[in-house]
Amino acid sequence: MEVARFCSSSRVMIVAGKGGVGKTTVAATLAVTAARAGLRVLVVEVEGKSGLPAMFGAPPLGYEELDLAPSVRARFLTPDAALVDYLENHGMRRISRRLAASGALDVVATAVPGMKDILVLGKVKGLEAGRTADLVIVDAPAAGHAITFLTSARGLLDAVRVGPIRTQAQDVVDLLSDPARCQVLLVTLPEETPVSEVVETAFAVEDRAGVALGPVIVNQCFAALPEGVTADVDAIRADAAACGRFVPEREAGDLAAALAFRAERHRLQRAQVDRLAERLPLPRIELPFVFTPDVTRPQLDLLADALATGIGAL
Amino acid sequence: MSIRSLVAERRVIICCGSGGVGKTTTAAALALTAARRGRRACVVTIDPARRLADTLGLAGLTDQAAEIDPALWAVGGPDLVPGGSLSALMLDTKSTFDRLVTRNAPDPEQAARILDNRFYRNVSGALGGTQEYMAMEKLHELHDEGGFDLIVVDTPPTRHALDFLDAPERLLRLLDNRIFRLLMTPTRVSMRVASVAVQTFLHTVGRVVGSEVVDDVIEFLRAFDGMEEGFRSRADAVGALLADSGTAFVLVTSPRRDAVEEATFFAERLAEDARAIAALVVNRVHPDFGGADPTGLRATATALAAATDAATDTAARRLGIAYENLADFRAVAILEREHLAGLRGRTADTVYVPYLAHDVHDFATLREVGTLLTDATA
């Protein structure tokens, strides 16, 4: 599929998955890929304190849109802020600090479970409708919360009969159930537990949230050793001799060990990707392992290349 | 203090850190190690992966600690000391909360009014902080009831490691909600003025979320009236337990930037309270592969790639790939350790746990991890 077409297939893309799989990296990568394809992108961070701006070398995010790169902007949209906004727009005078500090807001949010999630998604809907961006990428909350994040609106429709919050919930359900407006991209790692969890999440999200699932992004994949390269010390020594190059004993051992590590990780990962393919009939896009513990602009560019390739193969 | 000593001597070990770093497996491995060394150990899990949960016998959710058959874990190896036991439980936030309510209520009728209240039922699900509070309450229960030499506590898998310390206050604040007290019993004129503000707030909220919802809240607070003190004093007792010298905080992280950042915040916060991290566990660390400088290795790779002699071409290509590969792994190993440098200085004992070839979810692999944790030198 053509990259621009994929990035325009839904106006909102929600990137979801358990903690530690690289959601924020994938959200950033998707943003760069879409921007390259000519779209104006807005990334929305839902949890406070995000690693996203650091990837672009930008200062921390705020509630105003911040430019991260040409055609890529980002902002916070936290549940607490969404709740304050909503109450103030519905007849509450400015929420006093005292009221907020007293825990009164917690009472409201707790009284209607999922209310904050619905308000966050309601604001996302507002951003989508505002059309200042061609694509809104939502970096979803981590852990199992992704499921409740997406299913709250339906639950609320059952529980609350009338009132503005119900209308809000209905709007959110409408957004989530229209693939042209919204799809969810699940992110996982090619490891046993993450694969099990993404399969579970996928079925739960589809059943209970009625939201369209895009391709599954499999992060941190090691490439196979190229043709002919083996993790064998003797083979390395032989090659060195053939090149007339002296390789110290220890270095030969290190070279072999590093190749063996990569080959082994690759093998284990393939087994897990196969397992994922078996259990979850969704297209997959694999992103390569990045050899730095941090992701910054150069790595984002590499990842964006890989994402574009993956999209092309869909 | 070395992890080996912690496992041998402490009464409580709390595994902290952000989600996705391997806290649950670390906690289970520590408990297993203690059991194998002859102690009666219990691990409190929050959200274990299915296979680990099965191994620990958590499929039958009872929220009570259940002992695991020694035939399953007390096998093999010279490290086994008789007399130990291993128990596990998966925290059931709602049951723990219900039990707390029942215990603190002046009579069964008041307890029932609360347990049946719709708002109450939302609290255990919807309010951030309840799970953290109940994990600590569970610890308190286990510690009080005795029967264990060591309790290892996993903490909820939130992004922010500090939630564990901060979040319980949210629950207490909700239960101790002064604004609503003002509403109920305004006695002084000044309080009546505040009460008007509260009335307006409730009225507006009622219009937005529905008045029956607000009624549930008020009914809950009426039913709960008088019980907040019991919850507060219980929380204070937990605080004392956390500050006790028999309790150790083990910080778990991975070399990822966000995990290290969260772990650093946590260590700093504990330091503010004049507490120390007893040990740091870093999971999923890449091997060192010898310590060569990646720059030199890449230069070699480049030189080999430039080789044009047809006879040695293939050998040069292969060797170049090997050097490039080693350079990549050396670079990541160096950056990981650099990343962790700031955190390492905060504790005497740091253990690096390498990437394992397999998932950790049975007793053999838990034992492997336990050995890595306790046999490592600082």
CA distance A91 to A81: 16
Residue B260 lies in a domain: yes
Please give the angle made by the CA atoms of B104, B218 and B166, to the nearest 5 degrees.
60
Residues B161 and B294 reside in one and the same domain: no
Report the mean per-residue pLDDT for chain B.
85
Q: What is the pLDDT of residue A98?
A: 67
B227 closest CA partner among B195, B182, B181, B183: B181
Closest chain B C-alpha to A102 CA, distance in angstroms? 7
Please write down the long-range contacts of B54-58, taking CB distance under 8 Å and 24 or more positions apart: B54/B361, B55/B361, B55/B362, B55/B363, B55/B366, B56/B28, B56/B88, B57/B88, B58/B88, B58/B89, B58/B90
pLDDT digits (tens, 9 = 90+) for B33-92: 999 999 999 999 988 888 889 999 887 656 789 999 999 999 887 779 999 999 999 998
Distance (Å) from the C-alpha of residue A50 to the closest C-alpha of chain B?
A: 8
B66 contacts B147 by C-beta, under 8 angstroms: no
DSSP string, chain A: --HHHHHTS-SEEEEE--TTS-HHHHHHHHHHHHHHTT--EEEEE-SSS-SHHHHTT-PPP-SS-EEEETTEEEEE--HHHHHHHHHHHTT--S--HHHHHTTHHHHHHHHSTTHHHHHHHHHHHHHHHHTSSSEEEEE---TTHHHHHHHHHHHHHHH--SSHHHHHHHHHHHHHT-TTTEEEEEEE-SSHHHHHHHHHHHHHIIIII--EE-PEEEEEEPPPPPTT----HHHHHHHHHHHT----HHHHHHHHHHHHHHHHHHHHHHHHHHHHHHH--S-EEEEE--SSSS--HHHHHHHHHHHHHHHHT-
pLDDT reported for residue A162: 73
**E strand map for B109-200:** 150-154
Spatial contact of A119 and B229, defined as CB atoms under 8 Å apart: no
Q: Do B85 and B163 share a structural domain?
A: yes
CA separation, residue A95 to residues B143, B146, B170, B213 (Å): 42, 47, 18, 20
- Distance, C-alpha B157 to centroid of its chain: 6
SS3 assignment, position B12: strand
3-state SS class at B134 = helix
Q: Which of B123, B258, B331 has the CB atom closest to A110's CB atom? A: B123
Q: Nearest-CA neighbor of B342 among B262, B258, B254, B264?
A: B264
How many C-beta atoms surround the C-beta of residue A270 within 10 A?
14
Please spell the DSSP secondary structure of B63-125, one letter per residue: SS-EEPPHHHHS-SSTT--TT-EEEEEE--HHHHHHHHHHHHSSSHHHHHHHHH-HHHHHHHH
Q: Which candidate from B213, B312, B359 shows the least CB-CB separation from A243? A: B312
CATH code where residue B156 lies: 3.40.50.300
Considering CB atoms only, which of A19, A225, A240 is closest to B20?
Answer: A19
> CA–CA separation, A278 vs B262, rounded Å?
36
Q: Flag if A103 and B173 touch (Cβ within 8 Å).
A: yes
Whether residue A18 and residue B316 make contact (CB cut-off 8 A), yes or no, is: no
Quickly state the pLDDT bin for B211 (edges 50, 70, 90). confident
Highest mean pLDDT among A270-284, B14-28, B45-59, B363-377: A270-284
Whether residue B349 is contained in a domain is answered as no
- Write down the ipTM of this complex: 0.86
Number of domains in chain B: 2
Q: Which residue of A49, A102, A106 is in closest CB contact with B127?
A: A106
Closest CA to B180 of A113, A102, A46: A102
Q: Is the pLDDT of residue B106 over 70?
A: yes
The pair of structure tokens assigned to B244 is 């006790």
Helix (H) or strand (E) holding B13: strand B12-16
Same domain, B275 and B329: no
Asked, for residue B370, whether it belongs to a domain, the answer is: yes
Asked whether the beta carbons of A53 and A68 are under 8 A apart, the reply is yes
DSSP state of B291: G
Domain contains B277 = yes
Residues B19, A250: C-beta atoms closer than 8 Å: no
Tens digits of residue pLDDT in B261-272: 889 988 888 888
* Per-residue confidence (pLDDT) for residue B18, from 0 to 100: 85
**C-alpha separations of B136 from A279, B44, B125, B156 in Å:** 37, 10, 17, 11
User: Do the chains contact at A108 and B49, CB–CB below 8 Å?
Assistant: no
**Residue B370 and residue B296 share a domain:** no
CB contact under 8 A, B174 and A107: yes
Looking at residue B290, the DSSP 8-state letter turns out to be: G
- Compare all CA atoms of chain A with the CA of B324 and give the residue at the minimum distance: A255
Chain A residues touching B178 at Cβ < 8 A: 102
Same domain, B322 and B294: yes
Range(s) of the domain holding residue B98: 3-114+128-174+243-286+355-375
Sequential pLDDT tens for chain A (314 residues): 999 999 999 999 999 998 788 899 999 999 999 999 999 999 999 987 788 999 999 999 988 999 999 999 999 998 888 888 888 887 777 766 666 776 777 777 888 878 888 889 999 999 999 988 999 999 988 755 778 888 888 888 877 777 788 888 899 999 999 999 999 999 999 998 899 999 999 998 888 888 999 999 999 999 999 988 999 999 999 999 988 889 999 999 999 999 999 999 999 999 999 999 999 999 999 999 988 777 899 999 999 999 999 999 99
Q: What is the pLDDT of residue B282?
A: 94
Structural tokens at position B149? 């030499």
Chain A segment 238-257 residues within 8 A of B by beta carbon are 238-240, 242-245, 247, 250-251, 253-257
Average pLDDT over residues B1-21: 91
Assess contact for B353 and B253: CB atoms under 8 A: no
What kind of fold does domain A3-223+281-312 have according to CATH? Rossmann fold (3.40.50)
B187 pLDDT more than 60? no
Scanning A116-175 for CB atoms below 8 A from B yields: 141-144, 160-165
**Residue whose C-alpha is closest to residue A54's, from A221, A287, A292:** A292
Q: What is the structure's pLDDT at A163? A: 76
Using a CB-CB cut-off of 8 Å, the residues of chain B touching A268 are: 357-358
What backbone phi and psi angles, to 5 degrees, belong to B41?
-115, 150
- Residue B275 amino acid letter: R
**B167 and B295 inside one domain:** no
A188 phi/psi in degrees, rounded to 5: -145, 175
Q: Is residue B102 in a domain?
A: yes
The full set of domain ranges for chain A reads: 3-223+281-312
DSSP state of B351: E
Task: Show which of residues 41-60 on chain A sit within 8 Å of chain B, judged by CB atoms.
Answer: 47-49, 51, 54
Residues B317 and B260 reside in one and the same domain: no
Q: How many residue pairs bridge chain A and chain B with CB atoms within 8 Å of each other?
A: 205
Range with the poorest average pLDDT among A220-229, B17-26, B98-107, B225-234: B225-234
Measure B340 CA to nearest chain A CA, in Å.
Answer: 11
Assign B156 a pLDDT band (cuts: 50, 70, 90).
confident
pLDDT at position B378 is 43
